């Protein structure tokens, strides 16, 4: 897990920013808000560092919250989290144990659940009313199931049944349910179900050049790292008809394979029903809700880079 705060903050100015109220942050697109101060957990990690880069490029101030760096923050320490959040206008919570490998289930649940709660509880206490949470497509249960699960139907979307039986998926469900609780209090919370976050080089290495059966659990899907971070930035300003709590699936519109998706499913997941058409290498993940709520679509293709 990653975490770090107030001291090394990314900014184009050393002066303290004026605090933008929750209503202003909710009504104005983040790209038009001047000097918004955004707390990012896991800021030195793969996703968090790219989120920080994009926010700074847009002219915003970023407060890092990561276990590494000049001023580390342990997100399991409530008081440390509270100190790091001072003056922030919104949070992007990326920090988490990224997989169930090399960690006991109890420790996995303890860390991922407690750090999420601390981030949201302390943000709420300090009057912060906008939160973006990094959830995962693993919540559907296929990625880390002890026994292989078959996807009943594709395309997968936000309404697809959660059938997980593994602790890692449980932690992502706990993250979403915690966010939903704070949304009921009045916070704007957007949970992003990221598919496998990869660079174009990693897509080639781990999916395109790998035997197809190795990635049948993930249905050969991915999301580009820069595109995933852009979804975080856009989620700071959800659009009508957004609800107080939104769960959005974030995945590329194509797979990481050259073979047609329907052929891959017929061979490697024959019990999966296909709803509608999946022409060519179309992804079996439907992200139209993200386009509607945050104006996001996957603008790049690994094949072109």
Q: What are the average pLDDT values for consecutive 10-residue runs of the chain, which has 305 residues? A: 37 33 40 76 98 97 95 97 98 97 98 98 98 98 95 97 98 98 98 98 97 97 98 96 96 97 97 96 98 97 89
- pLDDT tens-place string over residues 232-258: 999 999 999 999 999 999 999 999 999
- pLDDT tens-place string over residues 91-120: 999 999 999 999 999 999 999 999 999 999
Q: Give the pLDDT score at 212.
A: 97
The overall longest dimension of the chain from CA atoms, in Å, is 59
51 in a structural domain: yes
Question: How many domains are there within the chain?
Answer: 1
Q: What is the CATH number of the domain that holds 113?
A: 3.40.50.720
* Contact in structure between 43 and 83 (CB atoms under 8 Å): no
261 in a structural domain: no
278 in a structural domain: no
12 in a structural domain: no
217 in a structural domain: no
* Contact in structure between 71 and 3 (CB atoms under 8 Å): no
Q: Give the pLDDT score at 271.
A: 95
154 in a structural domain: yes
Angle at 254 between CA 145 and CA 179, to 5 degrees: 55
* Contact in structure between 295 and 271 (CB atoms under 8 Å): no
């Amino acid at each position: 897990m990653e975490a770090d705060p107030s001291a090394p903050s990314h900014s184009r100015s050393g002066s303290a920013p004026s605090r933008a109220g929750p209503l202003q942050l909710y009504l104005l697109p983040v790209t038009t808000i001047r000097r918004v101060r955004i707390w990012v957990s896991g800021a030195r990690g793969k996703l968090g560092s790219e989120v920080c880069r994009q926010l700074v490029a847009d002219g915003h101030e970023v407060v890092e919250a990561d276990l590494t760096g000049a001023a580390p923050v342990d997100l399991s320490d409530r008081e440390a989290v509270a100190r790091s959040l001072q003056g922030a206008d919104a949070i992007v919570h990326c920090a988490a144990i990224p997989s169930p490998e090399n960690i006991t289930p109890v420790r996995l649940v303890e860390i991922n659940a407690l750090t999420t709660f601390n981030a949201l509880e302390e943000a709420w206490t300090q009057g912060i009313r906008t939160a973006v949470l990094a959830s995962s497509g693993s919540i559907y249960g296929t990625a880390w199931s002890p026994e292989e699960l078959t996807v009943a139907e594709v395309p997968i979307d936000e309404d697809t049944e959660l059938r997980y039986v593994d602790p890692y998926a449980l932690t992502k469900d706990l993250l979403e349910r915690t966010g939903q609780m704070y949304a009921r209090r009045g916070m704007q919370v957007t949970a992003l179900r990221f598919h496998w976050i990869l660079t174009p080089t990693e897509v080639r290495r781990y999916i395109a050049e790998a035997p197809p059966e190795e990635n049948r659990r993930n249905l050969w899907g991915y999301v580009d790292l820069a595109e995933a971070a852009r979804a975080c930035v856009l989620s700071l300003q959800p659009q009508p008809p957004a609800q107080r709590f939104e769960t959005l699936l974030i995945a590329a519109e194509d797979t990481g394979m050259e073979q047609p998706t329907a052929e891959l499913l017929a061979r490697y997941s024959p019990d999966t029903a296909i709803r509608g058409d999946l022409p060519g290498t179309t992804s079996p993940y439907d992200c139209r809700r993200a386009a509607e709520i945050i104006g996001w679509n996957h603008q790049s293709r690994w094949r072109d880079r």
